[in-house]
Structure 1
Amino acid sequence: MMNPATFASYACVPNRTRGRRLPEEESRTRSVFQRDRDRIIHSGAFRKLQYKTQVFVYHEGDYYRTRLTHSVEVAQIARSISRQLQLNEDLAEAVALAHDLGHTPFGHAGEDALKESMEGHGGFDHNEQTFRILTLLEERYAAFDGLNLTWETLEGVAKHNGPVTNPRDSLKTFCREFDLELDSHASMEAQVAALADDIAYVNHDLADGLRAQLFTIDELLDLPMLGRLFHQVRESHPRIDEGRLVHEVIRRLIDAMVNDLLQETKRRLEDHAPDSADAVRAQSGPLVAFSEQMRKDIETLRSFLFQRMYRHYQVNRITSKARRVLKQLFQVYLDEPNCLPHDWQSKLDISASQSQRARIVADYVAGMTDRYALESHETLFNPYIRL
């Protein structure tokens, strides 16, 4: 375990954790945050991320990122940044690995489908779903539901995008018993994980979009940073092939974003001089941040991806199909709960309201992988498939 003396004063130190909702005897060989990370990695929801996609459906190519590879990339970037800032790498990694557990199959298209299906039943949000998985839906341990993670990890998952002003039911109910102080900012480690997520997804979506031929290198040359980086690499390596060229540019772009974040964060730390993790939480704004210019540049890249990738007609066809699949699955299971697996049927109390039944169906459908959702839809809707 890392020596507490090596942590900055504003880091979350394991021996000063606020503990777990249900007290446990802690490990002799792992810190509390290492243990949280390991529980997340061994969860069923984490394994399913292998077959949950960001933009492309799982069978479209082995090289496209999945939710699992994305989470690993986020964790790697978060650890690297945390080491430079003398933060708790294990906590940053735990938050990074957990942040996407609540995503539905088929990425944002799947989430849109469940949002529409859950209208009038409390709604659906992937961040709340992540929290439900971590605190309720994982059934692995004899003594409790969920993973019984530390206060700091749960806080980081709940607040990694900032204070939560209008918490949904699951988070609100949990906080009555184990207050995560939703109106304050999260730890430095959680803030790092949030921006590591931004760095990872912008860069890997650029790479995946080029691989899928949704846009070309020439179309990227006028975008912030990219034109200069492509020119630099081609000048240094004039005979480089396109595959290596793209990888080298993406590598340098990630490096530029990380270095900018480190410089801006160190500047803010000097200005505000927090002397504890709680002092970080009490700030009026985040301390981990990009410079204003980098923030604008990243927003320009996002806008390009939105127009040229996420709204490309080929992607629209995929997302249209995905929405129909999930909405139809949801409706069948809500109308005919006897079609659910037995262990999920057992969760349905005969006195449950329609909204309570809808929540259980949403939990089941959200937990599907792309592949399982397509297979389930085929089984239920294709009359020529053997049952």
Structure 2
Amino acid sequence: MSVGMAAPRAPYACDPERGRGRLFSEPPSKTRSPFRRDCDRVIHSTAFRRLKHKTQVFIFHEGDHYRTRLTHSLEVAQIARALARQLGLDEDLTETLALAHDLGHPPFGHAGERALDACLKAHGGFDHNAQALRVVTALEHRYPEFDGLNLTWESLEGIVKHNGPLTERNGAPTERYAESGIPIGIADFNCKFDLELWSYASLEAQVAAFADDIAYDAHDIDDGLRAGLFAIDDLREMPLTREIIGDIDRHYPGLQDIRRGAELVRELISHFISAVFAEATGRLELAKPQSAHDVRRHATPLIAFPEAVAREEAAIKAFLFQRMYRHRRVVRIMGEAEQIVADLFERYQRSPGDLPPEWIEGTEQETGAARARRIGNFIAGMTDRYALIEHQRLFDSTPDLR
């Protein structure tokens, strides 16, 4: 099968007509599959629209051409659907998970997440995957009969487990949650609607997770070049990008750097998609899963990079960490952003009357933990712009974040 062609539905794909349903029963749609309905609900949610003004790496007012959480999510969805199409998976479920994976991110990207995690340390901390689950199961208020979006079990499972199981079969947290425990929002919801935290997620969810990595690597290189944090020839220090840049220069001698960078990003995405498809095909041929149930109970993930490509991808992440994420300008701005989030949390804790009216109701009766979680939910939903406006309203001095 040539790359890009749609494969017939595979037996191990999630079947929207044989899914595990929704927490709250609803009549089926006459025109859409359950997974297509999930995807449409995510797209029309308030939380999805807010991603337009949430940081990827650069604060929104640094330039119109840098990625935001919204444009990142759209790029993840494109890559994820391309892989799902080649592997015969359900494209609608894959797209749902790609578009929903960042719904729980607070303002200012990972800086905001670090700050909220510190603020909520005494109350279970903050985890953006748990927050995404909270958004789609409780915080969206768009329907008369339930809170949240009432997504299918398969979509909720993918949001929570796209990076792998959270517990062992006996319920003990996996290594990454050994110290902190399962995030409160996930543990509480799992008591109501068992997401089988001990198993792997569907192939659709695994594909969405790798599409996220591919999109991150490619567009952070693009944004880093645009911002002047490094030059395209600096990327020659890595074997993969050195080879791609060499091919570009041989085919297009004298090409402008902006076009060289764009071509590099395209070739990187194609390289990683092809590598994941080849590795997944080999693993599926060996495992021979006959259903999505078999995928979930397999001992290892079935979507992965080949070992050599995993090393190439890790080298790119290491380069970006040193040259972009730890760049002195980015570090300074993110430090100031963390302080803004910490300031807002402390102020609302001390003076809950400063919250908007719809968030104040009930705070008088809440315990310290419940009030802290409410404030955390409010701040997590903020855009970068709104967080700055709130800080300017409540404090005499607000960093410019430039």
The question of a shared fold, defined as TM-score above 0.5 by the shorter chain, is answered with yes
Structure 2 Cα separation of the partners of residues 232 and 324 of structure 1: 45
Deviations 1:176-200 (A, max 9, x none): 1211111000000000000000000
Runs of at least 5 residues in structure 1 that lack an aligned partner in the other structure: none
Correspondence for 2:349 among 325, 328, 334: 334
Tell me by how many angstroms 1:347 deviates: 4.3
Q: In structure 2, the residue corresponding to 1:21 is in which secondary structure?
A: coil
Deviations 1:263-321 (A, max 9, x none): 00000001100000000000011001110011111111101111111010000111011
The question of 1:365 aligning with 2:367 is answered no
Tell me the amino acid that sits aligned with residue 362 of structure 1: G
The equivalences for 1:123-272 within 5 A come to 123-165=125-167, 166=173, 167-272=182-287
Deviations 1:78-116 (A, max 9, x none): 000000000000000000000000001000011111011
Tell me by how many angstroms 1:351 deviates: 2.6
Residue range with higher mean Cα deviation, 37-46 or 213-222: 213-222
Tell me by how many angstroms 1:382 deviates: 2.2
Tell me by how many angstroms 1:119 deviates: 1.2
The equivalent residue for 1:277 is 292
Structure 2 Cα separation of the partners of residues 43 and 302 of structure 1: 31
Cα pair 2:54 2:60 within 8 Å, conserved: yes
Cα pair 1:122 1:355 within 8 Å, conserved: no
Residue range with higher mean Cα deviation, 218-227 or 56-65: 218-227
The equivalent residue for 1:112 is 114
Tell me the amino acid that sits aligned with residue 355 of structure 1: A
Correspondence for 1:6 among 8, 21, 31: 8
The equivalent residue for 2:178 is none
Structure 1 Cα separation of the partners of residues 229 and 356 of structure 2: 39
The question of 1:79 aligning with 2:93 is answered no
The equivalences for 1:299-338 within 5 A come to 299-338=314-353
Q: In structure 2, the residue corresponding to 1:225 is in which secondary structure?
A: helix
Q: Residue 194 and residue 383 in structure 1: after superposition, are their counterparts in 2 closer, same or farther (change >3 A)?
A: closer
Residue range with higher mean Cα deviation, 163-172 or 20-29: 163-172
- Give the CA RMSD over aligned residues: 1.2
The question of 1:55 aligning with 2:57 is answered yes
Structure 2 Cα separation of the partners of residues 330 and 175 of structure 1: 27
Tell me by how many angstroms 1:235 deviates: 1.0
Tell me by how many angstroms 1:158 deviates: 0.6
Deviations 1:17-60 (A, max 9, x none): 10000010011111000000000000000000000011110000
Structure 1 Cα separation of the partners of residues 231 and 397 of structure 2: 43
Tell me the amino acid that sits aligned with residue 170 of structure 1: G
Tell me the amino acid that sits aligned with residue 359 of structure 1: R
Residue identity (%): 52
Structure 1 Cα separation of the partners of residues 186 and 18 of structure 2: 24
Normalised to the residue count of structure 2, the TM-score between the two structures is 0.93
Structure 2 Cα separation of the partners of residues 224 and 363 of structure 1: 43
Cα pair 2:280 2:304 within 8 Å, conserved: yes
Q: Residue 181 and residue 366 in structure 1: after superposition, are their counterparts in 2 closer, same or farther (change >3 A)?
A: same
Tell me the amino acid that sits aligned with residue 154 of structure 2: E
Q: In structure 1, the residue corresponding to 2:387 is in which secondary structure?
A: helix
Runs of at least 5 residues in structure 2 that lack an aligned partner in the other structure: 1-6, 168-172, 174-181
Tell me the amino acid that sits aligned with residue 356 of structure 1: A
Tell me by how many angstroms 1:224 deviates: 2.9
The question of 1:44 aligning with 2:59 is answered no
Count of residues in Structure 1 that have an aligned counterpart in Structure 2: 379
Q: In structure 2, the residue corresponding to 1:120 is in which secondary structure?
A: helix
Tell me the amino acid that sits aligned with residue 280 of structure 1: V
Deviations 1:233-261 (A, max 9, x none): 11111132111111111101110000000
Normalised to the residue count of structure 1, the TM-score between the two structures is 0.96
Cα pair 2:126 2:183 within 8 Å, conserved: no
Residue range with higher mean Cα deviation, 138-147 or 166-175: 166-175
The question of 1:25 aligning with 2:27 is answered yes
Tell me by how many angstroms 1:383 deviates: 7.8
Structure 1 Cα separation of the partners of residues 214 and 362 of structure 2: 39
Tell me by how many angstroms 1:174 deviates: 1.4
Q: Residue 310 and residue 383 in structure 1: after superposition, are their counterparts in 2 closer, same or farther (change >3 A)?
A: closer
Tell me by how many angstroms 1:7 deviates: 1.1
Tell me by how many angstroms 1:352 deviates: 1.3
The equivalent residue for 1:353 is 367
Correspondence for 1:375 among 389, 393, 397: 389
